[in-house]
Amino acid sequence: MNRSATDSPSPGWRWREHMPLVNTLRLPARSGAALILDRLDADVFDQPAVTDWLAEPTTRVLGGGSNVVFVQPFVERSAHLAADAWWLETQTADRVDLVAEGGMGLDRLVRETSGRGWYGLEALAEIPGTVAAAPMQNVGAYGVELGDRVRWVDAWDRRERRLRRLDRNDCDFGYRRSRFKDEAGRWLILRVGLTLATRPPADWPPVDYPGLSAALEAWQAATGRPPVAMTPLAYADMITRVRLAKLPDWRGGLPGSAGSFFHNPVVSPSRAETLARHWPEMPQYPVSDGIKIPAGWLIERCGLRGWREGGVGVSARHALVLLHYGGASGEGFVGFAREVRDRVFEAFGIALVVEPECLGEECGPIFPQSK
């Protein structure tokens, strides 16, 4: 379906021509025609102009651009959520059930909920992107994954043209993946139902990750309070300081980044044992399906930390982060990422998997591509 000039927007949706596409890598990109959903009511999805646009396979569903590499600078058709409300459904002495619309920023939701003294999302502070994008990737940090807090997801099934509610088990959450990511192009996530706690967990505050113990000590020195007195909002602020010490600010300016660019690889115990004989200092973390090795350590061990070619480089603060300093094309950025990946493979025999989605024919087989 091609959008006609006679299509008249309703209060629930609108069109925009030649729309710049915001992305945290700051790569040039725009959409020829964009559908923007201001409301997510059922009557909006009764409109043929909306459902036909979403059913077209070439329509790209895009959010805050924090997990996408625009190798192709022009997207002919796109769809975006502007609806960004959240509300409380139920509350008991121990838990709260809430709903957040997909257009809301994830970091904003973290601040809103932790500021009310609710536990569960505070470790996800400073992660860019929208609520709708977060279940796709099952975003996580410091031992917490969004899927751990999800009750259900409301989504528009672009293939079957109907609204569906998927319970948490139906979402098939895994490490940085979900059913929505595996079935890329099928789903437009509209709302997410979450459950948070009103009381701290038994291990509060969790600090068993690099940088957190020192950050907690600094908080104690500044406040004179014991760790158990830390509020969810104070923990979110602590996470923010730790992340900003490693990552550029995703809210604007250069250099741009897509956060952690590669997944931490998981290898078999026997493979990990072989690697340890060659590199006894290699960090290894047992997980349910094998041994996880930090991708940043692999990149740094190859001597690539701080390496730069033109407008693209590896961060000097965190080797897992690739930076766009400005002036690079999407194709040039992808070529640089391939070089990093190839050098790690040559050194360790480990093929790193790219975390962001890549839009464009030049992406190549090592990049997850939009379908």
CATH code for the part of the protein at 84-246: 3.30.465.10
Query: Token pair for residue 24?
Result: 């945290």
* pLDDT tens digits for range 97-109: 999 999 999 999 9
- CATH 3.30.465.10 domain position(s) in the chain: 84-246
CATH code for the part of the protein at 256-359: 3.90.78.10
- CATH 3.90.78.10 domain position(s) in the chain: 256-359
Query: Which pLDDT score, from 0 to 100, does residue 369 have?
Result: 44
C-alpha 123/C-alpha 192 separation (Å) is 18
Cβ contact 164:171 at 8 Å: no
pLDDT at residue 361 above 70? no
Cβ contact 367:340 at 8 Å: no
Cβ contact 296:325 at 8 Å: no
For domain 13-81, give its CATH number from 3.30.43.10, 1.20.1260.10, 3.30.830.10, 3.40.605.10: 3.30.43.10
The edge-to-edge listing of strands for the beta sheet with 308-309 is: 256-260, 321-324, 312-314, 308-309
Query: Which pLDDT score, from 0 to 100, does residue 289 have?
Result: 85
* Mean pLDDT (whole number) for 338-345: 96
* pLDDT tens digits for range 67-89: 899 998 999 999 999 999 999 99
**Length reported for the chain:** 371
Residues serving a catalytic function are 176, 260, 355
Q: Which residues pair with 173 in a beta bridge?
A: none
* pLDDT tens digits for range 216-269: 999 999 999 999 999 999 999 999 999 998 888 888 789 999 988 999 999 999
* pLDDT tens digits for range 344-355: 999 999 999 998
Q: How confident is the model at residue 287 (pLDDT cuts 50, 70, 90)?
A: confident
Q: How confident is the model at residue 57 (pLDDT cuts 50, 70, 90)?
A: very high
Helix boundaries (H) for 199-256: 212-223, 232-244
* pLDDT tens digits for range 113-137: 999 999 999 999 999 999 999 999 9
Non-local CB neighbours of 361 within 8 Å, separated by 6+ positions: 71, 72
* pLDDT tens digits for range 169-184: 999 999 888 999 999 8
* Mean pLDDT (whole number) for 289-308: 96
* Mean pLDDT (whole number) for 54-62: 96
